[in-house]
Amino acid sequence: MGRSILAGRFCPYVALRVKLRSSRVSAKANRSLVECLLKKMAKREPYRNRIEILQGTLDMIILSALQWGPQHGHGIGEALKARSDNALQIEHGSLYPALHRLEKEGWLASEWKQSEANRRAKYYRLTAAGKRQLTREQSNWDQIVRTVARIMSPLEEV
């Protein structure tokens, strides 16, 4: 029997509870689903042309961005924007509270340094606990993607 987790929200008022079970959906199918969703969302009207991230996913992508090394807040936002081909633009009003929350959880550590622009900036780095949390978050994400892929795929004959 699978376990339930709060998968996230697609709009401010709707939450989806997903029943997670193991699946045989491949990584290629996962990538295809994500690419399909990005293409569909890019075709929306300009005011709706943005991705609403599943609740809790912001934490995962911030932790993921820091696995390549320490970075200041603005740099994290820019890295996520670049790695998503400008599909994700994390606003400061979402990014900095998330960074503070992750630091409070013990998943990030920070220190003040000079930035490449010679300004004082707070640099964040992943802690050992943060690396473990990232692994858990990635595992949950993979299960969510497989679940959505099963829902989106036509029934296969056995």
Greatest alpha-carbon pair distance for the chain in Å reads 62
Residues 133, 84 contacting (CB under 8 angstroms): no
What structural domains and CATH numbers belong to the chain? Answer: 25-152 (1.10.10.10)
pLDDT for residue 94:
92
- Closest C-alpha to 138, from 28, 80, 61, 47: 61
> Could you give the angle at which helices 92-105 and 128-152 cross, rounded to 10 degrees?
120
Which DSSP letter does residue 47 get? G
Tokens of 135: 């692994």
Q: Tell me, what's the pLDDT at 88?
A: 87
The pLDDT score that the predictor gives to residue 17 is 28
How many CA atoms lie less than 13 Å away from 69 in the CB half-sphere? 2
Q: How far apart are CA 74 and CA 78, in angstroms?
A: 6
Residue 56: per-residue pLDDT = 76
CA 82 to mean position of chain CA atoms: 14
* Contact between 138 and 150 (Cβ < 8 Å): no
Instruction: Choose among 79, 92, 125: nearest CA to 106.
Output: 125
Q: Strand pairing partners for 72?
A: 123
Q: Which residues of the chain have pLDDT under 70?
A: 1-55, 156-158
Distance of alpha carbon 146 from alpha carbon 93, whole angstroms: 31
The pLDDT, as a whole number, for residue 27 is 61
**pTM of the shown model:** 0.66
